[in-house]
Amino acid sequence: MSRAYNFNAGPAALPLEVLEQAKAELTDFAGTGMSIMEHSHRGKAYDAVHQEAVANMSKLLGLTDDYQVLFLQGGASLQFSQVPLNLLPAGGSADYVNTGTWANKAIKEAKKVGTVNILADTSKEIPTNMPDFAALPYSKDAAYVHVTSNETIAGTEMPFFPDTPSPLVADMSSDILSRPFDITKFGLVYAGAQKNLGPSGVTLVVIRKDLLERAPETLPTMLQYRTQAKENSLYNTPPTFGIYILMLVSRWLLAKGGAAGIEAINKAKAAKLYAAIDGSGGFYKGTAVPAFRSNMNVTWRLPSEELEALFVKEAIAQNMIGLKGHRSVGGIRASIYNACPPEAVDALVAFMADFQKKNG
Ligand SMILES: *Cc1c(COP(=O)(O)O)cnc(C)c1O
């Protein structure tokens, strides 16, 4: 049984080295005679894992002392609510940029909490687009500005992060640590782990410490960021196995040269795939405006839906999994996150050429 070429959008591929290590110590972690899953979250063995996960994340993200790492649950989807519940004061307003499905969901939840200004809406544009983030009418007195750094379904990615008058908040679920970025522009970033960081069940939140005090005391304890901040994400039982895998992924990423190291690999993978699309004489058509093409989720169409279905089916027969576009938009999507090896992209590019020869 060989490893599949896994292009799943999330949960997504994990580094083979990480899986091998987890397998090797699954029943006996560090000579303790127990799985890490069976250890107390207050014990020595798990504590070392937890501390290393926090330290490695801080290092990879280039955090200063002004920021804190939190490991939460509820996915990025709970953050759509938790961000406004903590950061949007009664009577205040927040700026949001609507770039697609995920931004739209964040907006929907924020509107339940307070006033939302939509700075731009490119969510319905085809080819899929993003606004010029340098030229948006940011409010002077907004509680924060919310952006989605990578629209996983559309296949668009913010090419840079703007300077904003109020703290920038980003949903980075599908491109966190795929490239370096300057954390000091941000008040808060969040990401479900299951695309670039580890398994589902862990949500990474990085928050600027001064924002911890914004939440009203009436907010339920578990929804206040400061509850977990005070306890280093150990207020209650954290998702220990997920954090352990995330820690192994963070080690793997450090060995690759961190965000800058993996960015070079990611850019090369994406460039190959876009070159295959653009060089197909129109048989394959990229669906994102080129300036906003994602290096994580590459989306394209074929001349007909029948050919798209055949493409997906024949790809599966060649061990290439997860290429069907999101059900809301159709087409083809290859998710090529950090852990998707370059060989998988090479195999896909070869398959695309072969498929076109037979069906073009
Ligand atoms: C996958 C994804 C989400 C949803 O994450 P959950 O952890 O399933 O809640 C939110 N935003 C973006 C950009 C995503 O890619």
Kindly give the confidence (pLDDT) of every residue in the chain, 360 residues in length, as a single tens digit, with 9 standing for 90 and above: 689 999 999 999 999 999 999 999 999 999 999 999 999 999 999 999 999 999 999 999 999 999 999 999 999 999 999 999 999 999 999 999 999 999 999 999 999 999 999 999 999 999 999 999 999 999 999 999 999 999 999 999 999 999 999 999 999 999 999 999 999 999 999 999 999 999 999 999 999 999 999 999 999 999 999 999 999 999 999 999 999 999 999 999 999 999 999 999 999 999 999 999 999 999 999 999 999 999 999 999 999 999 999 999 999 999 999 999 998 889 999 999 999 999 999 999 999 999 999 999
- Mark 38-76 as b/e (b = at least 16 C-beta within 10 Å): ebebeeebbeebbebbbebbbebbebeeebbbbbbbebb
Contact 264, 308 (CB under 8 A): no
C-alpha span between 260 and 251 (Å, rounded): 15
Ligand 1 contact via 189 beta carbon (within 6 Å)? no
Task: Give the predicted TM-score (pTM) of the model.
Answer: 0.98
> Which of these is catalytic: 95, 102, 175, 252?
102
Phi, psi of 163 (to 5 degrees): -85, 130
DSSP state of 4: P
Tokens of 307: 């050919």
Q: Judge: domain 5-12+259-359, CATH 3.90.1150.10.
A: yes
Placement of tokens 């994580």 in the chain:
296
Which of 173, 176, 336 for mutating ligand 1's site (highest number of atoms within 8 Å of CB)? 173
- Strand, coil or helix: what is 224? coil
Instruction: Show the tokens assigned to 161.
Output: 């992060």
Q: CB of 297 within 8 A of CB of 174?
A: yes
Chain center to CA of 2: 27
Give the H or E element holding residue 83.
Answer: helix 75-87
* Tokens, residue 330: 């159709």
- What CATH architecture is 16-255? 3-Layer(aba) Sandwich (3.40)
Domains 5-12+259-359 and 16-255 share a fold: no
- Where are the alpha helices (H) located in the chain, listed in sequence order? 16-24, 44-61, 75-87, 101-113, 225-230, 240-255, 258-278, 305-317, 342-359
DSSP 139-162: -TT-S-EEEESEETTTTEE-SS--
Q: Compute the distance between CA of residue 12 and CA of residue 322 in angstroms, rounded to an integer.
A: 9
Which atom from ligand 1 is nearest to the alpha carbon of 172? 13
Longest alpha-carbon distance in the chain? 64
Q: Which of 95, 175, 195, 324 is catalytic?
A: 195
Number of other residues whose CB lies within 10 A of the CB of residue 9? 21
The single residue of 23, 47, 112, 171 carrying the catalytic annotation is 171
The residue whose C-alpha atom lies closest to atom 5 belonging to ligand 1 is 76
Q: How far is the CA of 357 from the centre of ligand 1 (A)?
A: 36
CA of 108 from ligand 1 middle (Å) equals 14
Domain edges within the chain: 5-12+259-359, 16-255
Q: Which of 8, 72, 77 to mutate to test the pocket of ligand 1 (most atoms within 8 A of CB)?
A: 77
Measured in whole angstroms, the distance separating CA 101 from the mean position of its chain's CA atoms is: 14
Task: Compute the distance from residue 287 Cα to the ligand 1 centre, in Å.
Answer: 21
Indicate which residue's Cα is closest to atom 14 of ligand 1.
173
**What does DSSP assign to residue 273?**
H
Nearby residues of 177 by Cβ (< 8 Å), 6 or more positions away: 60, 61, 196, 197, 253, 259, 262, 338
Give residue 192 CA to ligand 1 midpoint distance, Å. 6
CA 257 and chain centroid, separation = 19
